[in-house]
Amino acid sequence: MVAVEARGLGLRTRRGWVFRGVDLAIRAGEVHAIVGPPGSGRTSLLLALADRFPITEGEVRHHAPAALGQVAGVHEPDPELTVAEHITERLLLLGRRVVPAASATAARGRPRFGILPWRRRTGQRDAVMAAIESAGLGAENLLDPARRGRDLTPVQRQVLGLTLAALSGPGLILADDVDAGTSSTERALLWTILDRVASQGIAVVVTTREVEPPSTPIIHRLGEPPADPAGQASAEEETAAEQAPAEQAPAEQAPAEQAPAEQAPAEEETAEQAPAEEETAEQAPAEEETAEQAPAEEETAEQAAAGTVPTHHAEVTR
Average per-residue pLDDT in the chain? Answer: 76
Q: Please say if the pLDDT value at position 252 is more than 70.
A: no
Instruction: List the strands of the sheet with 172-175, edge to edge.
Output: 66-68, 172-175, 203-208, 31-35, 218-221
Torsion angle, CA of 14/18/24/26, rounded to 10 degrees? -100
What percent of the chain is modeled with pLDDT above 70? 62
Distance CA 291, CA 280 (A): 16
What per-residue confidence (pLDDT) applies to 80? Answer: 96
pLDDT digits 0-9 by tens, 234-249: 445 555 555 554 445 4
What integer is the mean pLDDT of 199-219? 94
Distance CA 84, CA 197 (A): 21
Residue (of 158, 174, 201, 181) closest to 33 by Cα position: 174
Distance CA 159, CA 178 (A): 10
pLDDT digits 0-9 by tens, 30-47: 999 999 988 889 999 999
What per-residue confidence (pLDDT) applies to 12? Answer: 93
The model's pTM:
0.65
What per-residue confidence (pLDDT) applies to 122? Answer: 63
Where in 158-286 does DSSP place strands (E)?
A: 172-175, 203-208, 218-221
What integer is the mean pLDDT of 213-226? 81
Asked if 92 contacts 198 with a C-beta cutoff of 8 angstroms, the reply is no
What per-residue confidence (pLDDT) applies to 169? Answer: 93
What per-residue confidence (pLDDT) applies to 139? Answer: 83
What per-residue confidence (pLDDT) applies to 140? Answer: 81
Distance CA 80, CA 212 (A): 34
